[in-house]
Amino acid sequence: MQSEGCNGLLRVVYSREDESHLKSKEKEWVAIMEWMYRSTRNAANRVTASQAILQGLAEDGGLYVPEQIPALDLPLATLGEMNYHEVAYAVLSRFLTDYTEEELKYCIRSAYDRKFDTEEIVPIRKADGSFYLELFHGATIAFKDMALSILPYLMTTAAKKNHEDKEIVILTATSGDTGKAALAGFADVPGTRIIVFYPKDGVSAVQEKQMVTQKGKNTCVIGIRGNFDDAQSGVKRIFGDEALRKELSEAGFCFSSANSINIGRLVPQIVYYVYAYGRLLAKGELQAGEEMNVVVPTGNFGNILAAFYAKQMGIPVGKLICASNENKVLYDFFQTGVYDRNRAFHLTTSPSMDILISSNLERLIYRLAGEDAKKNAELMQQLTGTGRYEITDEMRAKLQDFAGGYATEAETAEEIRTLYEKTGYVLDTHTAVASYVYRKWKEQNHPTAPVVIASTASPFKFARSVMSAIDVKYAGMEDFALIDELSRIANVPVPKAVEEIRNAPVLHDKVIETGEMSDAVKSFLGISK
């Protein structure tokens, strides 16, 4: 049963059971606000959660954000008693309010199942005093699995809710991990097709092999001659091409996105920070209400933005430490208030962070601007036109929750080697960036709160870089020989995701120029003129 107010925003929901973990098993009868979403570039562009997920990117080029951040109105102490599925429902039900309880639980149950190699879904490992949040136990051994396992279910449910009869075309640019995770999630999902663009020479050997061996009649993987920013910009241009969108609509297709510009990607990422707090409670590492610090290696900014949203929901997060590699555009932004992509682009051993256009930062800029869509649009136009923008002193003052740091290639390698020699724990290159940044920040700030470091990929995904960091003697070994040796020294089995591609045939070998992306889309969909 439900009732709605005249503005369509208030919905009374009965029999919500998100506190089923409690001994009493009592049902909570509550009234919640139906959260609407609006574009960061046009306040008049308002949609429901399911509509935002279905569209991916707003037609005006903006990103959808919730009009308010909902409070996680549960006693913090109860988080320590909740499993991942229960935490996921608690978070998603507060953001995605036009989904029913049955729909959300179906999505959660379908996403977080036996494709993960641990019942915990997201284990936390302690090494040298830090807690590493292992987000890589899914089908593609990277953190993108956490959101991209559920997105197909959220999206197909959204299509049904909104009576969408067109075939959904998932259009995605990837720096390595999103592509495979999205492909795995959407492969052979009825009513969808997925096209992934990746920088041909800007991903690891394992990342590329995972993508180009992807099965599924509805999948298409295309390399581009350029970097990730070129791929991402190309995808955004396609989304903004009204003529192309009309042409596809007439042919029975509609665009959506699996990138973290889609709010359906971002909200599930909030879950694992809430879950992390609960795990630290359960381990006795903190008491309810005490703070934890969070460190995230990021190039796109979405993963650390999710931690910021968790803090806004009421999770006691102290500092949000943004870790960059040598493409330190985000570090420089936090230091100066200037975002400037006019700089040399570095190919590094942490390729998923090799980004100069941090799309998700727009959501934070919008908030810093007092949710002024006009001001935000002006800044984004400056970025498009000149490659830079500068925020005001007033906006900079609102960044006090954040800190930034970066690691060079040499520092990243040293962090991998040092932690392995000290503890036997092996980091991937991206997590090593975060680990190094935190260690340097800790030396300067002497925090007392425990730290959760987002471990965003399995070291097996970057075996060559990881093993070369541990000992130069490994530099000349073949890729899969390195993987087997990594398994031996780390005392960890080779993940199924890696074993599956060891001898898998290449199914996608197309490589194009960035200017050919629109034609490639039409060709795959069979609507070329």
- Using the predicted structure, report yes or no on whether residue 8 has a pLDDT greater than 90: no
- Tell me the average pLDDT across 319-328: 98
Q: What percent of the chain has pLDDT over 70?
A: 93
362-384 in b/e burial notation, b at 16+ Cβ within 10 A? bbbbbbbbeeebebbbebbeebe
- Using the predicted structure, report yes or no on whether residue 117 has a pLDDT greater than 70: yes
Task: Name the band, by pLDDT with cuts 50, 70 and 90, for residue 1.
Answer: very low
SS3 content of the chain, % helix, strand, coil (to 5): 45, 20, 35
Q: What percent of the chain has pLDDT over 90?
A: 78
- Tell me the average pLDDT across 38-51: 96
Task: Give dist(CA 96, CA 52) in Å, integer.
Answer: 10
Task: Name the band, by pLDDT with cuts 50, 70 and 90, for residue 42.
Answer: very high
Task: Name the band, by pLDDT with cuts 50, 70 and 90, for residue 232.
Answer: confident
- Tell me the average pLDDT across 494-515: 93
Task: Name the band, by pLDDT with cuts 50, 70 and 90, for residue 14.
Answer: very low
- Using the predicted structure, report yes or no on whether residue 48 has a pLDDT greater than 80: yes
Termini Cα distance of the chain? 51
What average pLDDT does the structure give for the chain?
91
Task: Name the band, by pLDDT with cuts 50, 70 and 90, for residue 17.
Answer: very low
Per-residue pLDDT reduced to its tens digit, 134-154: 999 998 899 989 998 999 999
Per-residue pLDDT reduced to its tens digit, 416-429: 999 999 999 999 99
| pLDDT given for residue 33 in this prediction | 58
- Tell me the average pLDDT across 308-332: 98
| pLDDT given for residue 529 in this prediction | 56
| pLDDT given for residue 270 in this prediction | 98
- Using the predicted structure, report yes or no on whether residue 10 has a pLDDT greater than 70: no
- Tell me the average pLDDT across 24-30: 36
Q: 32-36, 357-361, 377-381: which has the minimum mean pLDDT?
A: 32-36
Task: Give dist(CA 107, CA 100) in Å, integer.
Answer: 11
User: To which residue do tokens 């935000």 refer?
Assistant: 376
All structural domains of the chain? 1-34 (no CATH), 124-140+264-488 (3.40.50.1100)
User: To which residue do tokens 């990021």 refer?
Assistant: 298
Task: Name the band, by pLDDT with cuts 50, 70 and 90, for residue 12.
Answer: very low
- Tell me the average pLDDT across 81-104: 97
Per-residue pLDDT reduced to its tens digit, 487-502: 999 999 999 989 999 8
| pLDDT given for residue 30 in this prediction | 37
| pLDDT given for residue 206 in this prediction | 87
- Using the predicted structure, report yes or no on whether residue 180 has a pLDDT greater than 60: yes
Q: How crowded is residue 286: how many other Cβ atoms within 10 Å of its Cβ?
A: 16
- Using the predicted structure, report yes or no on whether residue 178 has a pLDDT greater than 90: no
Task: Give dist(CA 262, CA 56) in Å, integer.
Answer: 4
Task: Name the band, by pLDDT with cuts 50, 70 and 90, for residue 329.
Answer: very high
Task: Give dist(CA 476, CA 397) in Å, integer.
Answer: 49
What one-character-per-residue DSSP string does 129-185 give? TEEEEE---STTSBTHHHHHTTHHHHHHHHHHHTT--SEEEEEEE-SSHHHHHHHHH
- Tell me the average pLDDT across 397-414: 97
- Tell me the average pLDDT across 374-390: 97
Element (H, E) at 510: strand 510-512
| Highest-scoring range by mean pLDDT, 15-19, 437-441, 496-500 | 437-441
Task: Name the band, by pLDDT with cuts 50, 70 and 90, for residue 169.
Answer: very high
- Using the predicted structure, report yes or no on whether residue 310 has a pLDDT greater than 90: yes
Q: Which distant-in-sequence residues (6+ apart) come within 8 Å of 24 by Cβ?
A: none
Q: Are 175 and 355 in contact (CB under 8 A)?
A: yes
- Tell me the average pLDDT across 276-296: 98
DSSP-derived secondary structure letter, 343: S
